[in-house]
């Protein structure tokens, strides 16, 4: 029997799977993100053999050293920018993620954010609740049609491709994309065109949807200079990671009509928002819930648990990223 520490309550299916495999599971009792000190203290209380971490945990060398017997950290997310991979490698620690199961859910969500902002759905909801609706009017809250418009995908991996397919098949949008590599599977599935740079996509697209992982190379991929390349009628959607966009620059762009609107599920300094963002009408903001469906969160829990079970049984976990 191995001991496993789970840094926050996750759907029961994952915990049950670990317990049914004969392991002892300790779940953090705090209903919230553990501070670094709390995490270090919790890990030092027992000799854990594995840790199930969340994207809100900053996992670095100090954390690995506090759980010296744990040779696997299974992250409950597809992104793993919260983990210091070099520190893990130095210590021979295996890191896993939960890819694939979030793809459809997050693609549906990005698609929904696009419609929410271009059709002014959240704004219309606020307007109606405030009692400002005084009857149908020909020019009340006019938005944009998507049919025939160009969707620009930045990062055409699993989720980016899912959004591209939905936008073309569902809405009749033209799709262009930029990625560090061409995606032949996507080009076979729908009519879409690779562009050789981020700039080309920004200049041409009516909606830009961002799906790159957060890396040094993608930090502030969208900054003031690049926002200025977009059409004033264009929209920006981000369901990837907050720091991919310079949020202060985006607030300025939204205020000054550099672009028309944005849909954001992630923020540069979560859970804090950039100054001025929440008072803008032309942005739809949601609290990092793109993967938050009953089905997906349960699958993420079982995948993270299975990665730990396989590792502890001496097998290579399916989703090892380091
Ligand atoms: P993926 O690895 O399948 O796709 C990422 C794509 O980005 C790849 O095709 C890769 O080649 C490309 N890429 C990498 N660096 C690039 C660069 N510098 N410029 C352009 N393209 C680049 O990952 P995925 O499953 O599609 O997930 C994408 C990201 O979405 C994750 O890394 C995660 O951060 C984020 N995510 C967010 C949520 C949420 O709740 N909002 C949920 C799931 C995933």
- Could you report the per-residue pLDDT of 60-111, keeping only the tens digit for each? 999 999 999 999 999 999 999 999 999 999 999 999 999 999 999 999 999 9
Determine the pLDDT at residue 139. 98
Give the model confidence (pLDDT) of 6-42 as tens digits: 999 999 999 999 999 999 999 999 999 999 999 999 9
200 carries an active-site annotation: no
Determine the pLDDT at residue 18. 98
Do 170 and 182 share a domain, yes or no? yes
Q: How far is the CA of 283 from the centre of ligand 1 (A)?
A: 22
DSSP state of 34: P
Which residues of the chain, if any, have pLDDT below 70?
none
Determine the pLDDT at residue 133. 98
Do 236 and 298 share a domain, yes or no? no
pTM beyond 0.85, yes or no? yes
Domain membership flag for residue 300: yes
Q: How far is the CA of 179 from the centre of ligand 1 (A)?
A: 10
Instruction: Say how many domains are in the chain.
Output: 2
Do 300 and 274 share a domain, yes or no? no
Alpha carbon nearest to ligand 1 atom 2, residue: 157
Determine the pLDDT at residue 171. 98
Do 111 and 237 share a domain, yes or no? yes
* Residue whose C-alpha is closest to residue 222's, from 192, 174, 259: 259
Q: How far is the CA of 313 from the centre of ligand 1 (A)?
A: 30
Do 87 and 42 share a domain, yes or no? yes
- Compute, in degrees rounded to 10, the torsion defined by CA atoms 87, 88, 91, 92: -150
Ordered DSSP codes for 104-170 = HHHHHHHHHHHHHHHTTHHHHHHHHHTT---S--TTTT-----TTPEEEEES-SHHHHHHHHHHHHH
Ligand 1 surroundings by CB, under 6 angstroms: 78-79, 99, 102-103, 106, 154-160, 178-181, 211-215, 217-218, 239-241, 265-266, 288, 290-291
Alpha carbon nearest to ligand 1 atom 9, residue: 157
Classify residue 212 by burial, with Cβ atoms within 10 Å: 0-12, 13-18, 19+: buried
What CATH number does residue 252 fall under?
Answer: 3.40.50.720
CA distance linking residue 141 with residue 194, whole number of Å = 34
Atom of ligand 1 nearest to the CA of 102: 43
Token pair 């553990």 is found at: 34
Atom of ligand 1 nearest to the CA of 212: 7
Strands (E) across the chain are located at: 3-6, 24-27, 50-53, 72-75, 94-96, 150-154, 174-178, 192-194, 207-210, 235-238, 261-264, 283-285
Do 205 and 80 share a domain, yes or no? no
- Residue 116's domain comprises 103-285
Determine the pLDDT at residue 96. 98
């Amino acid at each position: 029997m191995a001991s496993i520490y789970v840094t926050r309550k996750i759907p029961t299916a994952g915990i049950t799977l670990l317990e049914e495999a004969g392991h002892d599971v300790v779940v953090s009792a705090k209903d919230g993100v553990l501070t670094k000190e709390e995490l270090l203290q919790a890990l030092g209380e027992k000799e854990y053999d594995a840790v199930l971490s969340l994207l809100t945990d900053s996992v670095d060398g100090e954390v690995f050293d506090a759980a010296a017997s744990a040779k696997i950290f299974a992250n409950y997310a597809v992104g793993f920018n919260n983990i210091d991979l070099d520190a893990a490698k130095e210590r021979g620690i295996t890191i896993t993620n939960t890819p694939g199961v979030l793809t459809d859910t997050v693609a549906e969500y990005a698609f929904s954010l696009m419609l929410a902002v271009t059709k002014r759905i959240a704004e219309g909801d606020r307007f109606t609740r405030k009692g400002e609706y005084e009857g149908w009017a020909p020019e009340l809250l006019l938005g944009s049609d998507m049919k025939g418009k160009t969707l620009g995908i930045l990062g055409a991996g699993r989720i980016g491709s899912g959004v591209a397919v939905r936008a073309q098949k569902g809405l009749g949008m033209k799709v262009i994309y930029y990625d560090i590599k061409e995606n032949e599977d996507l080009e076979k599935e729908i009519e879409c065109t690779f562009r050789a740079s981020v700039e080309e996509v920004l200049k041409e697209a009516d909606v830009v949807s961002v799906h790159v992982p957060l890396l040094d190379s993608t930090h502030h991929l969208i900054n003031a200079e690049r926002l200025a390349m977009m059409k004033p009628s264009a929209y920006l959607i981000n369901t990837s990671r907050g720091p991919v966009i310079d949020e202060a620059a985006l607030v300025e762009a939204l205020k000054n009509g550099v672009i028309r609107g944005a849909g954001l599920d992630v923020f540069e300094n979560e859970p804090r928002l950039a100054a001025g963002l929440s008072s803008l009408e032309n942005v739809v903001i949601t609290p990092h819930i793109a993967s938050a469906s009953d089905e997906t969160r349960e699958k993420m829990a079982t995948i993270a648990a299975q990665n730990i079970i396989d590792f502890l049984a001496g097998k290579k976990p399916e989703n090892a990223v380091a």
